[in-house]
Amino acid sequence: MIRILFVCHGNICRSTMAEFIMKDIVRKQHMSDKFHIESSATHTDEIWNGQGSPVYPPAKAKLREHGIGTPENELGVSEKRARLTSRTDYNKFDYIIGMDSANIRDLKRLFGNDPDGKVYKMLEFADRTGDVADPWYTGNFDDTWRDCSDGCHGLFRSIITDPAYIDELSENMDSTDYDDDYMDRGLIHDDFPRG
């Protein structure tokens, strides 16, 4: 199983949107059983007396606008609560994706740097530099959606074209699930629908 953790400051907007966009991508590819996807916070701003805040309503609305968090495609949006990233998460996840430079700094401080090369900045997977737009300050959830969607699609493409995951991702799949260009390498077709 490939384990992915998305991280932002409070875990109610950006990392949560990324979590559910990624869950939607793998669901559409019939690969949900091959991935474990979560999100978490670097700070406790949205965690009170051990209880995390739910997905921020405008973030939830933006997910719904793209068919995520609806009754037909709920994916756990309504149950999601902010949680704090823990030191033990480093050993639990294969990819730890920070939304901005401050998240990366906080994660490396928490984990004692990044000895196994698991910590990435989200927009690295979108072939862009910079930070995922923070709608908490801008109110612009369209930009945040675009950044998270581009990053998640790039991450998914990176994983399914990584030779390290060929056996795991191709297990129990018949030849009709592969594109001819990828058959000789055993890779799953990455022409997946975008949000």
148 is catalytic: no
Residue 41 confidence (pLDDT) above 70: yes
Structural domains of the chain, with CATH: 2-183 (3.40.50.2300)
Q: What is the pLDDT of residue 50?
A: 87
Known catalytic membership, residue 127: no
Q: Determine how β-strand 35-41 pairs with β-strand 95-98.
A: unpaired
pLDDT above 70: percentage of residues in the chain: 87
Q: Is 183 exposed, middle or buried (0-12, 13-18, 19+ CB in 10 A)?
A: exposed
Give yes or no: 109 in active site.
Answer: no
Work out the mean pLDDT of the chain and round it to a whole number. 89
Measured between alpha carbons, how far apart are the two ends of the chain, in Å? Answer: 24
Catalytic site residue from 89, 100, 134, 150: 134
Q: Grade residue 190 by pLDDT with cuts at 50, 70 and 90.
A: very low
The structure tokens listed for 137 are: 């300050």
Selecting among 8, 13, 148, 152, the annotated active-site residue is 8
